[in-house]
Amino acid sequence: MNFRRTRAMFRKEVLHILRDPRSLIAALAQPLLMLILFGYALSLDVDRIPTVIYDLDRTSVSEGLIKDFRGSRYFDIVAEVHGYRPIEQDVDKSNALLGVVIPENYSRDLALGKTAPVQFLLDGSDSNTASIAMGYAEGMLQGYAQRRRQDAEMSRTGSVMQPPIDARIRVWYNTDLVSRNFIVPGLIAVILMIIAAMLTSLTVAREWENGTMEQLLSTPVRPVEMALGKLSAYFVLGIVDMLMSLFVGMVVFKVPMKGNPVLLLVSSAIFLFGALAWGILISAMNRNQLSAYQLCTLTSFLPAFLLSGFIYSLQNMPVVIQFLALFVPARYFIEIVKGIFLKGIGLELLWFNLLLLVVYGAAMFYLATKKLRQKVA
């Protein structure tokens, strides 16, 4: 391999990028736009649940329960009604997700130590949100009932029997349980995969469409030099995109980085190289930019978004889908990024994922050069 010819290909590709300002602006603006839109719009937090209250007891005890619902950040009391029909109407109109019905004699049963049921009516259209909302409501109800019974026991006996188990929950890593801290690092990995593959998926196909590939074939440049030169130009652009994404994630969204930033940059560069090589391979397989773009979208965006663990848990997927996810490189990079950002773990735990990315990058570059050699022949 001649590095002079590789440098010439790198310079040619850089000039082509600079002479196409619309593509350059799109390559730089698209990651920021995706990060900001997804970062603000995509949230897994379930709070401010629209709630309707139907109080049949109408005592100070039931008012205290309603006050707890009002004071919680997980619930938003939109109305207090006087029948089941208004609850049904609000749920049908999507004005409310949860209906709380406090029955008659609720305070009396609670004071006597009897079972004091409270009815929850939930909109199960979104089963996941409904399950989380039900868990929040049950936890609040049990906590309130326990406090009221302790107060009643204190007034009768002058002492309170302590529960045999004192459970204390400690949340590691994402201590505030903010979904943005989970989404943004994974989103950076998805953006890198999409942008990198799309940047290079058109480069060789564009040469064929513009008729400049024949001129390249008449030069002494070899396939490996052509691939490395083109890849290097877009690698610089991809590094800029990555640094911009990291800046937005840490400064705008205030996602803390607990791990080693050098390890993050090295692993990002390795993953970026593999994604760019995959784009070169796709471009070498197609002489039409439209087909190359469509194939790139199918093989980079969808797997990176759906089969990488970015949002959806892989453990809950069918076994066949879990097997397919083993071949999605974004999965391993997302584990590295989240491990560095949220957990602060280092190479001693991430070395296997990093090794897989190295193998992936080397394999994609080899296949890309081999395909280019076939095209040249």
Q: Each residue of 2-47: pLDDT tens digit?
A: 778 888 878 888 887 788 777 778 777 878 888 888 777 776 677 7
Average the pLDDT over 294-302 and give the result: 80
Does residue 356 surpass a pLDDT of 80? Answer: yes
Does residue 376 surpass a pLDDT of 60? Answer: no
Does residue 193 surpass a pLDDT of 90? Answer: no
Percent above pLDDT 90 for the chain: 13
CATH superfamily label, 49-157: abc type-2 transporter like domain (3.40.1710.10)
Q: What is the 3-state secondary structure (H, E, C) of the chain?
A: CCHHHHHHHHHHHHHHHHCCHHHHHHHHHHHHHHHHHHHHHCCCCCCCEEEEEEECCCCHHHHHHHHHHHHCCCEEEEEEECCHHHHHHHHHCCCCCEEEEECCCHHHHHHCCCCCCCEEEECCCCHHHHHHHHHHHHHHHHHHHHHHHHHHHHHHHCCCCCCCCCCCCCCCCCCCCCHHHHHHHHHHHHHHHHHHHHHHHCHHHHHHHHCCHHHHHCCCCCHHHHHHHHHHHHHHHHHHHHHHHHHHHHHHCCCCCCCCHHHHHHHHHHHHHHHHHHHHHHHHHCCCHHHHHHHHHHHHHHHHHHCCCCCCCHHHCCHHHHHHHCCCHHHHHHHHHHHHHHHCCCHHHHHHHHHHHHHHHHHHHHHHHHHHHHHHC
- Rounded to the nearest 10 degrees, how much is the dihedral formed by the CA atoms of 142, 145, 146, 152? -170
- Taking the C-alpha atoms of residue 334 and residue 329, their distance in angstroms, rounded to an integer, is 9
Cα distances from 165 to residues 84, 152, 162, 170, 268, in angstroms, run 38, 21, 8, 16, 46
Percent above pLDDT 70 for the chain: 92
Residue 129: per-residue pLDDT: 83
pTM beyond 0.75: yes
Lowest mean pLDDT among 59-68, 124-133, 148-157, 189-198: 148-157
Lowest mean pLDDT among 15-29, 90-104, 162-176: 162-176
Q: How confident is the prediction for the chain on average, in pLDDT?
A: 82
Average the pLDDT over 59-64 and give the result: 88
Residue 196: per-residue pLDDT: 76
Does residue 214 surpass a pLDDT of 70? Answer: no
Lowest mean pLDDT among 76-85, 311-320, 355-364: 311-320
Residue 17: per-residue pLDDT: 78
Of the candidates 263, 244, 253, 245, which has an alpha carbon nearest to the alpha carbon of residue 335? Answer: 263
- Taking the C-alpha atoms of residue 8 and residue 242, their distance in angstroms, rounded to an integer, is 25
Residue 267: per-residue pLDDT: 92
- Taking the C-alpha atoms of residue 173 and residue 181, their distance in angstroms, rounded to an integer, is 10
Residue 54: per-residue pLDDT: 92
Does residue 56 surpass a pLDDT of 80? Answer: yes
Intervals of CATH 3.40.1710.10 along the chain = 49-157
Residue 360: per-residue pLDDT: 93
With cut-offs at 50, 70 and 90, classify the pLDDT of residue 374.
low
Does residue 241 surpass a pLDDT of 90? Answer: no
Residue 375: per-residue pLDDT: 53
With cut-offs at 50, 70 and 90, classify the pLDDT of residue 155.
low
Residue 99: per-residue pLDDT: 92
Lowest mean pLDDT among 53-62, 142-151, 249-258: 142-151
Contact 56, 101 (CB under 8 A): yes
State both tokens at 376: 């040249």
**To 5 degrees, how large is the angle CA 216–CA 217–CA 221?**
70
Does residue 161 surpass a pLDDT of 70? Answer: no
State both tokens at 315: 């453990």
174 or 187, which is more confident: 187
Average the pLDDT over 90-105 and give the result: 89
Residue 308: per-residue pLDDT: 84
CB count within 10 Å of CB 26 equals 15
313 or 367, which is more confident: 367
Lowest mean pLDDT among 151-160, 167-176, 182-191: 151-160
With cut-offs at 50, 70 and 90, classify the pLDDT of residue 270.
very high
